[in-house]
Homo-oligomer: A and B are copies of this chain.
């Protein structure tokens, strides 16, 4: 027997199941693996021997198609940081004992930069103990902040949700004559890619968002108030897109909450939008509202990008192809090989160059005033939100694959 196992980790996206579907399809299409297992709740499912055999369930093509469009993680997630092997070798021994017992020769971990840390540690450990198990990372994150790869699975769908919502918010706010300010808070702790994608809402009549603030540019409250003030001289409704992670020039978050830290040491943020709402209310005599797009921007699969889902699927397949060649310690990457027309190819890169790194929005994509993006970023972003997946509806709401009992 020669088996493999997949797991999903980190925050949900609309495309992380498309990558899992790609892994499953890759396994079903090739002769190398007899069974594909799914570890429940990321790597913790391996530690606790909680897993499913996916081979049977997904022999049925309908299930695989439904998996592709289902948001969040079919296999559940975790936020578990692997200890260093020197500090806690027992964890590694448990994992590799499980691999041996289940005759597993490949492990596919679908996740963001924290999950790539797990891939990095496991592959380094495997090399040290001369295990033949291939450890492959398959990227995902709505933040688009993984290095080396052109863009990340899940980002395009979130970007499409954000841009579509901004367009609809524009229609909603344009109806009243009295002056108003609407502040839309968008996810992105360290990187402003998703907030930048709000600019995709602009078209021949929609000028929103009128201001865009990313974590990559130092946020200045007085400049912000001045920006809004001058816009209100010429138009009634000002719409502002703001990243949850904006900071002042000293690096302090513009946020109402003080914040605790998660297992990876990230601050739990909320409230940049709310903070700015209060600021505008206090300082400018104008109606103001803040909108937090919240988790719907990552799980709103009903307006996913077909390009994103298809690419995510291909990256899952690519992961299987790498492992079948005996490659390990690598993350699947996507390379943009053409712009007009947009074309991509798939490859891989050592995960140690990617884990725990953050790809920020480069300066060339941010205007000099730090309150908007440049037109160049639109050419980069636009291809990623194209196409609509075909959704089925059950009694009026989208049909997704039932979540297994996790």
Chain A contact residues, CB within 8 Å of chain B: 8, 12, 41, 44, 70-73, 76-79, 160, 163-165, 167-177, 200-201, 203-205, 289, 291-292, 294-296, 298-303, 305, 382, 385-388, 393-398, 400, 402-403, 406
Contact = CB atoms under 8 A, between A and B. Distances in A.
A41 B177 CA distance: 7
A163 B299 contact: no
A77 B49 CA distance: 59
Given A168-B71, A296-B168, A397-B160, A174 B403 contact: yes
Given A164-B398, A305-B396, A393-B388, A174 B298 contact: no
A98 to B, nearest CB: 18
A395 B398 CA distance: 23
Given A12-B172, A386-B395, A291 B302 contact: no
Contacts of A395: 200, 203, 382, 385-386
A292 B295 contact: no
Contacts of A172: 12, 71-72, 295, 298-299
Contacts of A300: 165, 168
Nearest to A160: B396
Contacts of A174: 72, 76, 403, 406
Contacts of A169: 295-296, 299
Contacts of A403: 170-171, 174, 205
Given A291-B294, A296-B169, A175 B77 contact: yes
28 contacts: A8-B175, A12-B171, A41-B176, A41-B177, A71-B171, A72-B172, A72-B174, A76-B174, A76-B177, A78-B176, A160-B397, A164-B397, A167-B398, A168-B296, A168-B299, A171-B299, A171-B400, A175-B406, A200-B396, A201-B397, A203-B395, A205-B402, A291-B295, A305-B396, A382-B395, A382-B396, A385-B395, A385-B397
Contact of A396 (B165, B296, B386, B393): B386
A88 to B, nearest CB: 20
A300 B165 CA distance: 7
Contact of A177 (B78, B298, B301): B78
Number of chain copies forming the complex: 2
Nearest to A172: B299
Contacts of A396: 160, 163, 200, 305, 382, 385-387
8 tightest Cβ-Cβ pairs between the two chains A and B: A205-B402, A385-B396, A172-B299, A72-B171, A77-B175, A168-B299, A73-B175, A76-B175
A298 B173 CA distance: 12
A397 B203 contact: yes
Contact of A164 (B76, B160, B302): B302
A132 to B, nearest CB: 31
A51 B80 CA distance: 60
Given A168-B302, A175-B406, 20 more contacts: A12-B175, A71-B171, A72-B175, A78-B176, A79-B176, A168-B296, A168-B301, A168-B398, A169-B296, A169-B299, A171-B403, A172-B299, A173-B295, A174-B403, A200-B397, A203-B397, A291-B292, A296-B296, A305-B396, A382-B396
A309 to B, nearest CB: 13
A73 B170 CA distance: 11
Could you say which of A173, A294, A394 has the most chain B C-beta atoms within 10 Å of its C-beta? A294
A339 to B, nearest CB: 15
A378 to B, nearest CB: 9
A363 B286 CA distance: 41
Contacts of A79: 176
A124 to B, nearest CB: 27
A176 B77 contact: yes
